[in-house]
Chains A and B, each alone.
Chain A
Amino acid sequence: MRTSTTPRPRLMATAAVAGLALLGLSACSGGGQEAAAPTGGADSGDLTWWGWTPDAVNAEKLIAAFNEEYPDIAVTFVSKPIDSYDSVLGPAITSSDGPDVFNVAPGSANGGVDTFGAGALDLTPAVAAALGDDWKDKLAPAGVEPLTVDDKLVGVSAGAVYSGGLWVNQDLFDQYGLTAPTDLDEWKQVCATLEVNGVTCFVQGAGQHAFDMDTFEAVMENVEPGLYVDASEGEVPYTDERFVQGMEIWKSLFDEGIMQEGAIGLQQYPDANNQFMSGKAAMVMMGTWYTQYAVKDSMVAAMEAAGVADPTPFAITPADFPDLAGTGDTGSLFGDADYGLAVSGKTDQPDAATTFALWLGTSEAGQQAVANTLNNVPALKGVTPQWEQIDLVDPARQLEPLQEYTERAGQATEPRFASVSSDLNSAFEDVLIGVASDDMTIDEALGALQAVQDEEK
């Protein structure tokens, strides 16, 4: 028999649960109160900036350049691993203790604006005030629409990254009298020479599928430029014969020994990157973000991070993806905005945060600093790296190919991930690794991609 005292704890417990439930449900009901759009214009503050990029060395360079103009706005960059960025960012930007400024990326990528746009302030008025009503014309297209959600500019693009080519350890290539391969036969010959000398020819962390998608897109750009993006937008079926050819070439990279043994057991970061940076592998499939390692101090830092003690920097150069399909269509680059700076809706310094975001993404000084890090192709049109101020490892061998490469990247129009939905992205993981490991036939793989595409229509 219960006494008159027993209902009280039950009542209290019920009230506690109900209170917590209401707290949780109200928190997830979405559509938090939108703060007024910031304008920038502050000249003092103390900001925290979260991002998975740039590297610490380059972030410090950017902040130092910013402080030349705004000495009273302190910025602390907090580097977060890209794999766990989303899981830490969500709680952080719903808290007033989180970052004032944070990186965002197009679509559903890590830090994607589709997900985190609701936690950022609209920067449209601030950018329009900074660049004028024709602000969209002054910025690279890759940094505007892909960072916009429902007419809200979630982030100001710092710059873009492009992929589609290889990076070569020029020291090793020169040592063995090699030149970058232009087709499959040359690639195999180069590999044979390197492997005789105990060097891994080409390294790819094929277990990390985003980089497999880069390689596959490069193959498809070689088969027929634009086809990969057409398919991701549903205009061409993945079961098209040209995709069969592309997938056969992808498979041949494993069967012909271009991909190193055990490639699908490795991650691009850190495994493949470390092998390349430690000089164990002579080629790697990376994008324009690797340009920064042409610079002495960035290369030394990257080599140290790869476990090289007392490193001597080596020269790296970009090379076109070889003509594996025999079409002669080579040299395509494809890319998206690397990151944009978003201002947290919870920051108590929206104007100072906006000042920093605008400086980095829309001012000539900020974009010049971005360009000079060589990590990104600048978002502001007309800004190019000041090569004479950049301390390359070996300008004689690097300057010309790097200039040509960054110029071509600035003109590229094909997207990298922006046209790929998260479900299609996951399907690519299954099929590219599935085909490589013989767990899937090419027909099964392309059928699986098309099934996802059909479902999304």
Chain B
Amino acid sequence: MSTTAAARQTPGRSAPVPGRADDGAVTRRRGVRQASGLPWILPAVVLVIGLVYFSIGYTGYVSTLDWNGFILSPSEPVGGANYTEMVGDPVFWRSLWHTAYFFVITFTVQTVLGFVFAALMHSKLRFGTLFKVVVFVPTVLAPAIMAPVFRQIFDADGQLNRLLDAVGLDAVSRPWLADATTAMGVVMVVTVWQWTGLTFILFFAAMSQVDPEVMEAARIDGAGNIRALRSIVWPMVRGTTAALALLGLIGALKTFDVPYLVTKGGPNHGTEFLGTYIYQVMVAEKHFGYAAAISVALLVLAITGGVLMSIRNRRAERS
């Protein structure tokens, strides 16, 4: 704070003293500076307020309506009825529960895999560049392209079951997408496959920042690979892990494409997430007001989760 304030002062000039006669002139100059900067940021301000915050406010307004979503159709104000309905809606709670354990499992698996891959890549692996590309490519592939492939792989007559049959594990083969539990497993597998590359890249970059002297000291003290990773590297990339956790939480709350494209939220809401449920309520059932209420709940959850996670991380850093 003080550094920033000092930096703002013009070199060779003293800071204005409160109560002096030129106070007004300085304030006016500052005002002129602010005014002259305004046109430069105005487009961004209009864009942000117009597209983002207005949309949020408008969604809040729509959540108080009974409306089919077509702009020429009439709407009826219903106050908080959509929120009351949401609280009593078992599919909403089920979606929330799915989001919670989806986040815990996918974040944990991605973190472990990403961390291990990054650590391996910091050793001298042959074909390291190729390995990096292979791990990262799924992150840049559109889920819409890959969804039919995964539907085919996990089909009752798909490649996975054929493979299992071929190796004598036919007792394990099953219609993976037809059972709620296994379908959720498929959604998680696809998500982990897609996003582990990003986790890996971020951990790889974070590990590059670890001071080699610290690692060298640990080696001199007799730390092996596992011990060095656990006691030196892992704590030093905590910031990256925290950032990934926050991104993962928000991503889990917004999950839509994979379950929608691979399982359509089914069977029987078995892979329903808030995003897919909002889409169904809004587009298929045409209850825009109710869908908006769930969207508002989603926003509140995302902000609350983000804030709680930031507080926790800050406390962890202090301790």
Contacts and interface: CB of A to CB of B under 8 A. Distances in A.
Interface stretch (A61-69, A260-268, A328-336, A372-380): A260-268
A90 B70 CA distance: 6
Contacts of A6: 31, 34
B72 interface: yes
Contacts of A32: 72
Interface in B51-84: 53-54, 57-58, 61, 67-75
Contacts, number: 139
A16 B50 contact: yes
A116 interface: yes
A399 B69 CA distance: 45
B199 to A, nearest CB: 29
B267 A265 contact: yes
B72 A437 contact: no
Contact of A94 (B72, B157, B268): B72
Interface residues of A, number: 56
Contacts of A86: 283, 286
Nearest to A110: B284
A196 interface: no
Nearest to B32: A5
A8 B35 contact: yes
Interface residues of B, number: 50
Provide the main secondary structure of the chain A interface. Answer: helix
A16 to B, nearest CB: 5
Contacts of A145: none
Interface stretch (B100-108, B176-184, B206-214): B176-184
A64 to B, nearest CB: 33
Contact of A3 (B30, B267, B269): B30
A450 B35 CA distance: 64
A16 B49 contact: yes
B285 A262 contact: no
Contacts of A426: 280, 284-285
Given A3-B34, A5-B34, A16-B50, A207 B266 contact: yes
Interface of A: 1, 3-6, 8-9, 12-13, 16-17, 20-21, 24-25, 27-28, 30-32, 84, 86-87, 90-91, 94, 108, 112, 114-116, 118-119, 200, 207-208, 260-267, 271, 345, 422-423, 425-426, 430, 433-434, 437, 439-440
21 contacts: A1-B27, A3-B34, A5-B32, A5-B34, A13-B45, A17-B49, A20-B54, A30-B75, A94-B71, A115-B68, A115-B286, A118-B72, A207-B178, A264-B178, A265-B176, A267-B264, A271-B155, A423-B285, A426-B284, A437-B180, A439-B180
Question: What are the 9 tightest A-B residue pairs by CB atom distance, in nearest-first order?
Answer: A262-B175, A265-B177, A262-B156, A3-B31, A265-B178, A118-B72, A30-B74, A5-B31, A262-B178
